[in-house]
Amino acid sequence: MTETIESLFRTCNRLVSETDCGYHRYLYGEIDWNEPLVCIMGARGAGKTTLMLQHFKETFGEGSEKAIYMSLDNLLFSQKDPVRVVEHLYSHGFTHVYLDEVHHVGKTWSLLVKNLVDQFPSMHFVYSGSSMLKLEKGRGDLSRRQSVYRLKGLSFREYLEFEGVGRFEVLGLEDILKNHVSIAAGICSNIKVLPYFDKYRKSGFYPFYRRSPTHYLDQLLETVHKVLDVDYPEIDDVSQETIRRTKKMLMILASSCPQTPNMSELYRELGTERTQGLKMLSALDRAGLLALLPAKGEKQGNMSKPEKIYCDNTNLMHALVQNANVGVMRETFFCNQIRKDHDVVFSGRGDFFVDGKWTFEVGGQGKKFGQIADIPDSFVVNDDVEVGFGKKIPLWLFGFLY
């Protein structure tokens, strides 16, 4: 056991020492790190591991004798029981354990976490994993024990800070609706925002774009394949043929978004029946690859007939579709940024109905009110403009909502 602990410490210390704490994601300050069990969820590449290592470094420093970071994909855990490792640490005065890649334990990962919390109630655990599908599958077993936090990809506001362009405050939706002219004018007096906005929508949502900008979209596509080839079959008993059909479904929807889908026609094209088709659609939604919008008056999460389907974000659009449609990309960006903290449905008139109150029509620079002119609390969202006027709001400003 001593050799195992020493090896884990060497890995932990190396990762902590190499962690850059110069920039923190929005979620860092929202997490109550004092909770006994914290779960950090998010899509592959969102930055969950960095978040954990930053908190470790800033709270305990390097070479801590009170805390340890361990990734359960470490080959050591193919022979060593994580519970016995934690038991050893506990007996030597450790109080905090950061567990990464917990899903590598297999389908019993939630039982492992439950046993750790039950057997060492005075300790604090933070856990995460790269497979959102697997964490979603098992987290219900821990619902009464844990605090769950979800990490989205970079907002446009975060991207600007991540790139060193400038630091800006998070904006509330009502603040944008009421004060967008003065807010946008203030931001644009410091930076030329539109060139950065164009870059962000193509390659700025997942923080790993910085590692290899020229190969980022290829790497993102590989991440999609990993979700469907590795994560999906481990949470559902699916065949290789179902995986192939799910990939085809994703490509069809990504290419045709955001038209109202004819689900029966889609299932016929895929050569599958409705029940299996709904399972495939659900997997793509839970994996953070698609965003499903119900119609106005329908419940969120109604998978049987989504009124509109979008890619989760514009970077995915560029990775999946050649020559992504600019109009669809505008709507995808708006939907992605506003869904974090607001209920969004398809309005029937206009593109989006938000929080049961506001209607938004999204378009290019010349977009006018037209079909929403007589709707109360309606707004036009314009791309390719720095500063709006009246109820016409620049699209990029909705990237400051988190």
pLDDT of residue 199: 97
Provide the mean pLDDT of the chain: 92
Q: For the chain, how far is it from start to end, CA to CA, in angstroms?
A: 44
Contacts of 269 (CB under 8 A, 6+ apart): 252
User: Which of 136-145, 260-269, 368-377 comes out lowest in average pLDDT?
Assistant: 136-145
**Element holding 97 (H helix, E strand):** strand 96-100
User: Can you read off the two tokens belonging to residue 316?
Assistant: 């995915």
Mean pLDDT of 61-90: 93
pLDDT of residue 236: 82
pLDDT of residue 302: 55
> Distance (Å, rounded) from C-alpha 112 to C-alpha 292?
33
pLDDT of residue 70: 97
- How does DSSP classify residue 380? E
Which domains can be identified in the chain, with CATH numbers?
Answer: 2-151 (3.40.50.300), 159-400 (no CATH)
pLDDT of residue 301: 56
| Cβ burial 183-219 (10 Å sphere, 16+ → b, else e) | bbeebbeeeebbebbeebbbbbbbbebeeeeeebbee
The tokens 């603040």 sit on which residue? Answer: 175
Mean pLDDT of 296-318: 80
Contact 145, 117 (CB under 8 A): yes
pLDDT tens readout for residues 130-181:
888 888 877 767 878 899 999 999 999 999 999 999 999 999 999 999 999 9
Q: What is the DSSP code string of 353-379? A: EETTTEEEEEE-TT---GGGTTSTTEE
Q: Is the pLDDT of residue 298 over 70?
A: no
If one compares 144 and 12, the residue with the highest pLDDT of the two is 12
User: Which of 23-27, 58-62, 171-175, 278-282 comes out lowest in average pLDDT?
Assistant: 278-282
pLDDT of residue 304: 61
Q: What is the DSSP code string of 146-214? A: -EEEEE----HHHHHHHTTS-------HHHHHHHHHHHHHHHHTT--HHHHHHHHHHH-SSGGGGT-GG
Count of alpha carbons within 13 Å of 172, Cβ hemisphere only? 3
> Distance (Å, rounded) from C-alpha 156 to C-alpha 319?
18
> Distance (Å, rounded) from C-alpha 314 to C-alpha 326?
10
What percentage of residues in the chain have a pLDDT greater than 90?
75
The model carries a pTM of 0.91
Nearest to 338 by CA among 318, 359, 320, 317: 359
Beta strand ranges found along 253-351 (DSSP E): 290-293, 308-311, 344-345
